[in-house]
Amino acid sequence: MDQHESRKQRRKRSPARRAKRKKSFFLRGVVTVLPAVLTLFILVTVVQFAKSYVTTPINTVIYWCLEGNGLGWQVLRSVGIDPLSEEFLNPDALPVELRSELDRAGLDSPAFRNGLAALHESRSSPVRDLDALAIDPEGLRDAVKGVVHPMIGVFFSLLLVLTAGYLASGFFGRRMISGIDRAMQQVPVIRSVYPYAKQLVEFFLSDTELEFDTVVAAPYPSEGVWAIAFVTSEGMKSVHEHLGGRYVSCFVPTSPMPMTGFTVFIEARRLIPLPISVEEALRTTVSAGVLIPTSELIETAEGRLAAARRGGGDAEQADVPESA
């Protein structure tokens, strides 16, 4: 009778158990797939941003330099593209008399050819106006793209970044960048964004290493509250002498922007050393405590039970407290 009741209770629990297992599988799948999806999303976003706001404007300038001036036309002719050829003629931009001659006698008409040559000669200038010269800008742009690959913008983008880095490493370059920084901070709206954007970029991309001695848990900002902090120095002599103890200097970063924070002096004996690296501490701070280092994770009874189930067998009760 007891066995029958036990089987009956297990059958009642089985739907809930199956639902719980399905939920566990779903969450495990999300944890497995989400990092790759987020990485792909970030990469695609960065590529699209670079294409829209870096390479495309650079390519536009390059194409204009080739299409919109006499020197650029010489370069185009050297690669087999003549902007004045019939291939790029735009009949809609012709004067009325030339358009009439074109409709009447066609492209091979001597009168039309002479009139078109006279039009080109009278409207030629160092800066070429394609509409005034009756040239199809879209057709010419397609021909130029066939010779000058759009990837040239990527090359010039990299060259521009390298040049800026080279200039920034010299005396005059640093003076110029300082002047740009001061000018940006004078613009009403930009000064509210630019300093923090610059600080964020310098924090993540600067080649200067963080020189912190120890990662600790510090009693800050009040008793009973603990924050991740970095011991930066032995503190100040005046503080030691006035308070009668060893008060070390600590930097307490803020979430989610650890490049800002507070410098505080805390008695050394009240600090709790943490066996984690500076990078792990920064990841924990940036993620607001979500990304805890593996060595510091707290394993719950539910976690041990799930691990025992994955291991198979009757290990469900292994290492599980009686109260679980």
* Number of CB atoms found within 10 A of residue 91's CB: 12
- Residue 313 has a pLDDT of 47
Residues of the chain with CATH 2.30.30: 214-296
Cα diameter, the chain: 113
- Please name the residue ranges forming H helices in the chain: 2-50, 56-67, 70-78, 96-105, 110-123, 137-147, 152-168, 171-184, 194-205, 237-243, 278-286, 301-311
**154 confidence band (pLDDT: 50, 70, 90):** confident
Cα–Cα dist 282/47, whole Å: 26
pLDDT digits (tens, 9 = 90+) for 45-98: 988 888 888 888 888 888 988 888 888 999 899 888 999 888 899 888 888 888
**177 confidence band (pLDDT: 50, 70, 90):** confident
Residues contacting 75, CB < 8 A, separation 6+: 66
**2 confidence band (pLDDT: 50, 70, 90):** low
pLDDT digits (tens, 9 = 90+) for 251-302: 998 888 777 888 899 988 899 999 988 888 888 888 888 888 888 888 655 5
Q: Is-contact 230 251, C-beta < 8 A?
A: yes
**How is residue 270 annotated by DSSP?**
G
Cα–Cα dist 313/299, whole Å: 21
Q: Which of 286, 263, 279 is nearest to 209 (CA)?
A: 279
Is the CATH number of domain 214-296 2.10.260?
Answer: no
Query: b/e per residue, 232-252, with b = 16+ CB within 10 A?
Result: beebeeeeeeeeeeebbbbbb
**311 confidence band (pLDDT: 50, 70, 90):** low
